[in-house]
Amino acid sequence: MNARHIGLIAKKELFGLSSEKTIVFAILLQVFIAMFSSFLMVGLTTMYDPEAIEGYSTGTYGVGYVGADSPLIDEFEKHPDLVLHRMGLDAALAALRDRRVAAVVYVPDTLPDAEGPVTLTLYLIQNDLQSSVINVKLKGVLQGYEEELREVRADRRTSFPVDLKVPESSGGENFFEFVYGLLVPLLVLLPAVVSAALIIDLITEEYQRQTLETLMSTPVTFGEMVWGKVAACAVLVPVQAGAWLLLLRANGIAVDNAAAILLHASVGGLFLILLGVLVALHYRERTSAQFIFSTALVVVFLLVIAVPYNPFNLIVRLAVDTASPAHWLVLALVAAATVLLGWAATAYARRVGEAAPGAR
């Protein structure tokens, strides 16, 4: 193959990427995520840990209290951000509808040492962000009340919990989980997936736009055309991933071993790109090829994440500088698989090229 021809094709494809609106939008989305990662952390962490939002709320909330006197009132007094208002049930619900209070708690006249359970009723506004905040804040109050009831009814216990010595948290676990467990691998590996989808579009469009015969009339061979497109897509992976890491650093998020992370992302991206080449050359129609590739990608990811030392965990461990030297072995295995896939893609491209119109 002629390296100059491959370079010319790669240059042509890189300059033509601006016309691929899907790819441009995907890149812009990644830029948005990387630039505003600190802001997005607040919203996305609450999806899997609602308590995370409590630390970002500094206001006070009114709570309507309805029913009998109970030790629950003492628990509310321990939380200065919750202001208790004694009122009747109808007045309390009306105040909740008018948003003069954030929640209403109804306490029955069941004594703490009664035989039956103490059933509290909590009223909140449906599908409201404030309700999520107040729900988390009330959780601490209700847990304190529950502990008090347990002490009052301690003589009824038939089994006892096991005491665990759990170290005190630094308070940054939500940030750590979101940034290093989700955001960093997402931003690093997503360019590989985008580039693999892009290679399918670049190859199938030659068939759909009927430009293959014109291309084959030039000195460029079919194999050089394919590898030129592969080179253009492969270059995007480290460039995009590197830009995202720089934007994360601008957000005050430190990522260790950036060079090793980019190397892993580049090799893994080339593997996915070559897989996309084989699918595109076989189907030669964009919709079918993208569907088959997406399905195959899901299968590959499911098989990969079943391995403990998979690329996702590897990126996380490299980012926090806890990866062992074994990550080089993983890289070598992925590189070997990529070489085999490259050989298969080259052979298949040669076969397809010989049957293409205008082939020499």
Q: For each of the chain's 360 residues, which pLDDT tens digit applies?
A: 667 777 777 777 777 766 655 566 666 666 665 555 554 554 455 444 555 555 555 578 899 999 888 888 888 888 888 889 999 999 999 999 888 898 999 998 888 888 888 889 999 887 666 677 787 788 888 888 888 888 888 887 777 666 655 445 444 455 666 677 777 888 888 888 888 888 888 888 888 777 766 766 677 788 888 888 888 889 888 988 888 888 778 777 778 888 999 999 999 899 999 998 998 888 888 888 888 888 888 887 888 777 777 778 888 888 888 888 888 888 898 899 999 998 998 888 888 777 655 544
Boundary-marking domain end, from 102, 123, 156 = 156
pTM recorded for the entire structure:
0.61
Same domain assignment for residues 144 and 202: no
Q: Which domain holds residue 69?
A: 50-156
Same domain assignment for residues 11 and 73: no
Number of structural domains, the chain? 2
Same domain assignment for residues 114 and 140: yes
Look up tokens 């951000």; give the residue.
81
Same domain assignment for residues 117 and 141: yes
Q: How far apart are CA 328 and CA 348, in angstroms?
A: 30
Q: Does the residue 167 lie in any domain?
A: no
- The dihedral over CA atoms of 334, 338, 344, 347, expressed in degrees to the nearest 10, equals -160
Same domain assignment for residues 152 and 201: no
Same domain assignment for residues 301 and 186: yes
Same domain assignment for residues 235 and 209: yes
Same domain assignment for residues 113 and 221: no
Q: How far apart are CA 63 and CA 96, in angstroms?
A: 9
Same domain assignment for residues 193 and 119: no
Same domain assignment for residues 257 and 330: yes
Same domain assignment for residues 152 and 298: no
Same domain assignment for residues 152 and 179: no
Q: Does the residue 299 lie in any domain?
A: yes
Q: Does the residue 161 lie in any domain?
A: no
